[in-house]
Chain A
Amino acid sequence: MKKLILPAFLFASWMAFLQTDLPVKGKNFLPALGRFLSPFHGIWQNVTANPISFNIQGHTREGVKILFDERDVPHIYASNLADAMLAQGYLHAANRFFSMDLSSRSAAGRLSELFGTRTIEIDRKQRERGFEWSAIEKASHWESYPENKQIMDAYIDGIHLYTRSLSYKNWPLEYKVLSKPPVEWTAVHSALTLTNMAIALCLREDDLAYTHAQNQLSAEEFAFLFPDHNPLESPIVPRGTIWNFNPVYPGKGPSVISNGHLHPPLNDSRHEDLNGSNNWAVSGGKTKNGAPILANDPHLGLTLPNIWYEVEIHTPEMSVHGVSLPGLPLVVIGFNEDIAWGSTNSGQDVLDWYQITWQDSSRRQYLLGDQYTSSSLRPEVIQIRGQPSVIDTIRYTHWGPVSKSGPHKDMAMKWIGHQKATSNDVEYLQKINKARNLAEYRDAVAAFQYPAQNKVFASREGDIAISVAGVIPVRPSGLGERIADGSNPDLDWLGYIPIEHALHSINPERGYVSSANQAPAAPDYPYPQLGRRVFEDFRGRVVNQVLDSLNDITPRDMMALQDNSFNLHAAEVLPLMLDMIQQQNCLKEEDRPVFNRIRQWNFEYHRDSVAPVFFDLWYKNFEALVWDELDTLGIMYPEEWRLTEIVRDHADHSFFDIQDTRDAKETAADIACLSFSKMITQYHALPSLQQSSWGAYKQSVIPHLARFPLFGSDVLHTSGGRHIVNAMSKSHGPSWRMIVELSTPVKAWVNYPGGQSGHPASPHYRDMLEHYFEGAYYEVILRKDPASWSPLRQIHLTP
């Protein structure tokens, strides 16, 4: 017996060691090596993706054929919608399950279950904001619509069909690296997928920044720096539109009470890459063959795999092609046999913060009106990998969940995403996928809730339209721009803009509709809070200028417009800056070649051009020197169009005086000279490769979704940038490009940066990436008859 102790002990210890995840450097983990390195089960089994044909029996009512084309886009042929949705759920899970899981965890505040202490602050913030709480409510709301519940149930059954077939051997690579099993998917996860998109698109945080700015600046200074509207803006619904209705709740409510005890916001998020988009539709009267053309490119943070999954679905009631959002059924942006539709982010302010007055330090009762009211408590258990769980209690008030820390400490968040649903997102998707004409498109749009979107439309019948879709609150005057007094119940939202007053444009005289995240309407729209302040000011103007100038339009013209790299911002501000350099006569002779190069530039942000590098560096320095006072006060910068106006019209304004030079009073021209000189120094300090061109300087990279190094793209040289129709910045930009000609049959040209598969070993993981940045498109025609074409592989779901 004694002889056995040593080998048995060593053997058992070794196996236990191989079975255990190993903490590394305190924050990371090595997966349990036994199964991870097992050539039979572990990471070695993930080197091939095996896209093969196979049958699955016994899960559908009438059977489904899934045929895959050369880009691995599935074409689903089903006899009923529920079977088609089951197939779509299966495909989403089989290709993108880790993306789906990560997206829902990100919204719910459950990343630390996978990543340990590294993500605990992100999770804590998400829990404080109650996203999972509202997703649970949303999922139960879906259940109350029997037809949509049937669709969701079938979709989730499809996901389970895949995930429940998984053993460790065929877990997606990311799960093996993280040594955690795939989650059991529910409708709440699907609701969280939608919430995650809403977080990306409609969670603007400007109230605190504006309140801080208003507290620090005089009223005149604030009005000077932050006017409500850009006078040059080209709104979605054209100027001059007659509003033949009166707003509901006109002029109700008191002014918002300011608060003098606020912490400044931690950073100015307005200069980060914006989740924007472009879409437009031109009528047959402007196109070469008389058929309307619709184009859409939604801009999002880019990752591998891409956020979208392209799919074609055929059932007796519809044939539809486009991109779907893994985690949700149906097609989000696409076309069917009769119509095409697309979306851009409307960017409306649908989030308000209310300062809570607690009765005492227990933070249980808060003042509302003239009495204290109990907050409801929701315990949150944040499970942390390798550490004990953290238990937190979130307080919910009349307004919403209350933040416990950070700049929003003791403020309650009222957000559109938390409000009781008035419609059903799945119903919207179902309606728009099946829509045949303008009336059915408008009916679908009325069912859309959030995040507010500009829904563009074109039909084979010749109609074009755009609608600002989604519920948008009507507030007491002043609310929405400052932190509100949470003890004042009169500061609550008054209701929502009724659908009949919602902005839309149908078959306008100018022959096109368009949106690029600009203000949706001119200031005379009866709901003036809509479209005030922060919107994209340049892309929409370029799109409209180009569409105004074009006739006999072809799909190729639309491709060129999606790839348009003209920077209107540079075109407006750079001549002023160059003139000031010449007026000041401050140019050094050795810098003249750079100066001349910038002066001869055509404002195109082409990847091979070096002039955008000079402008980018110069403008950043210029802006920072102008707004040094605001930096000192922690105030956000005014928008770029406003700085251009101030340079043009107020070149001697005191804001141009540099704080650090007490003996001198600088003007805009002095700043131009100084920033030009700084730009030259910074340019020469760049690595030589980055000096060569805009593409080399920008160094675009598409990272892996979980930021696994090497699983993303290499450095890409791309054209485009901020304020440009081709909005490709470092890792952010057009996530899907689609152009649809509403001819008979309907034709489309599409592409996106990535590939269909989420498996890094698959040849379809990133097979469209390089083509995409070359400006290439793939032609798509609905393939209604499965026997009419030869798929590369097939999956049959038999009853």
Chain B
Amino acid sequence: MNSTKGFIIPILAMVIAVGAAGYFGPWWGPAASLVIFNVLLGWNSKKSALFSGLILAVLYLGISLMMYTRDEAKIIHKTGALLGGMSALAMALVTVLTGAISGALAGWTGSVLGSMIRSSTASVVK
């Protein structure tokens, strides 16, 4: 139970922080917030990369789908066609892929950076 909580709470906190960074910050805000979170969490690299990538991909997917349902003028379809013949679905996939890669790389980097900081802090304490 505790381990589930210890997993879900950070995930939820990350989702909220990433969402807030995306909404209020620059386009790279979500990735930056994921780096910071993973520095603090102390997860291993694989776990950080996997969940960070998933979080950003799911968030991007969710918002894209929400906007897609409002797209009565087919703006995404038309823009995709303009930028090389992509369909709206392809635009959504590229968006999700961009989020997934950004999140995964941010998570990996944050995890490695966190472990470095922790090991250097530990050696100082010793």
Q: Which residues in A have some Cβ–Cβ distance to B below 8 Å?
A: 1, 3-4, 7-8, 10-11, 14-15, 18-19, 24, 30-31, 33-35, 37-48, 168, 173, 177, 708-711, 760-763, 765
Contact = CB atoms under 8 A, between A and B. Distances in A.
Contacts of A24: 84
Contacts of A37: 91, 94-95, 98
B116 A710 contact: no
B78 A11 contact: no
Which 9 residue pairs are nearest across A and B when measured between Cβ atoms?
A: A39-B63, A35-B27, A40-B22, A47-B71, A710-B78, A11-B105, A38-B27, A44-B67, A7-B109
Nearest to A39: B63
Given A7-B108, A37-B95, A47 B75 contact: yes
Which of B22, B60, B83, B102 has the most CB atoms of chain A within a 10 A radius of its CB?
B83
Interface of B: 22-23, 26-28, 30-31, 35, 45, 59-60, 63-64, 67-68, 70-73, 75-79, 81-84, 91, 94-95, 98, 101-102, 105-106, 108-109, 112-113, 115-116
Contacts of A46: 75
Contact of A4 (B59, B63, B79, B112): B112
Contacts of B83: 30-31, 177
Contact of A14 (B63, B76, B91, B101): B101
Given A4-B109, A40-B23, A47-B70, A709 B101 contact: no
B109 A8 contact: yes
Q: Which of A11, A33, A42 has the most CB of B within 10 A?
A: A11
12 contacts: A3-B112, A3-B115, A14-B102, A15-B28, A35-B26, A37-B91, A41-B22, A47-B68, A173-B79, A711-B82, A760-B75, A765-B73
Given A15-B28, A47-B73, A39 B109 contact: no
B31 A15 contact: yes
A45 to B, nearest CB: 7
A760 B74 CA distance: 9
Nearest to A710: B78
Nearest to A10: B105
Nearest to A31: B83
Contacts of B71: 47-48, 761
Contacts of B108: 7, 10-11
B116 A1 contact: yes
A762 B73 CA distance: 8
Contact of B27 (A3, A168, A708): A168
A47 B73 CA distance: 7
A47 B109 contact: no
A18 B79 contact: no
A765 B28 CA distance: 32
Nearest to A35: B27
Given A7-B45, A7-B109, A40-B30, 9 more contacts: A4-B116, A11-B108, A40-B63, A41-B27, A44-B95, A47-B68, A708-B78, A708-B82, A710-B81
B73 A760 contact: yes
Nearest to A24: B84
B37 to A, nearest CB: 14
Contacts of A31: 83
Contacts of A47: 67-68, 70-73, 75-76
Contact of B79 (A35, A48, A168, A177): A177
A15 B102 CA distance: 8
Nearest to B95: A37
B57 to A, nearest CB: 11
B38 to A, nearest CB: 10
A761 B102 contact: no
A426 to B, nearest CB: 36
Contacts of B68: 44, 47
A39 to B, nearest CB: 4
Contacts of B76: 43-44, 47
B67 A39 contact: yes
Contacts of B72: 47, 761, 763
A7 B27 contact: no
B75 A7 contact: no
Nearest to A46: B75
Contacts of B35: 11
Contacts of B64: 39, 44
Nearest to A176: B79
A43 B116 contact: no
Contacts of A711: 78, 82
Nearest to A47: B71
Given A18-B98, A33-B98, A760-B73, A43 B79 contact: yes
B109 A11 contact: yes
A762 to B, nearest CB: 8
B75 A761 contact: yes
A40 B27 CA distance: 7
Contacts of A44: 63-64, 67-68, 76, 95
